[in-house]
């Protein structure tokens, strides 16, 4: 296939690729097939974390909390799927893209804990966050 493309390009055959149209976000949008599948599975088992895999990452060295917050904010601003909620409207799932949602960074400074206790303290804080997420409403 690549050879055929090269031959066509050398022969002067051009390709016309249509641009991607911007879709107005004022109204709820239909789901893609993959999103619809996830929505359907959530209807069978509401609140399941089957497709959400939280992980903990241990960082070493200095951390600029401000820089981390700004990075997360930029990523969420750039990728609208991270600001998207799925809602049911007349039994049909729809996407609602939220505007300018700033992620809330939960930050616990364990530097005042004795060094030998920090890992256990971190596990305890992570456990509380995990429990909070498990209680979070799915919709």
**Is the four-CA dihedral 90, 94, 100, 104 of positive or negative sign?**
positive
pLDDT at 138 over 50: no
Q: What is the pLDDT of residues 3-13, one digit of tens each?
A: 988 888 888 77
Question: Could you count the other beta carbons within 10 Å of the beta carbon of residue 18?
Answer: 5
d(Cα 21, Cα 79) in Å, to the nearest integer?
Answer: 17
Tell me the per-residue pLDDT of 70-87, one tens digit each, with 9 for 90 and over. Answer: 999 999 999 988 888 888
Write down the pTM of the prediction. 0.64
Sequence-ordered alpha helix ranges (H) in the chain: 2-10, 33-44, 65-78, 118-135
């Amino acid at each position: 296939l690549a050879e055929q493309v090269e031959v066509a390009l050398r022969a002067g055959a051009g390709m016309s690729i249509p641009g991607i149209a911007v879709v107005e976000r004022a109204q709820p949008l239909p789901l893609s097939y993959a999103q619809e599948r996830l929505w359907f599975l959530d209807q069978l088992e509401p609140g399941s974390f089957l497709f959400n895999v939280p992980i903990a990452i241990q960082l070493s060295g200095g951390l600029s909390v401000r820089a981390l917050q700004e990075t997360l904010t930029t990523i969420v601003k750039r990728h609208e799927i991270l600001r998207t909620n799925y809602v049911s409207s007349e039994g049909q799932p729809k996407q609602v893209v939220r505007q300018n949602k700033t992620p809330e960074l939960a930050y616990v400074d364990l530097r005042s804990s004795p060094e030998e206790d920090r890992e256990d303290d971190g596990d305890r804080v992570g456990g509380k966050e995990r429990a909070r997420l498990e209680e979070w409403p799915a919709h």
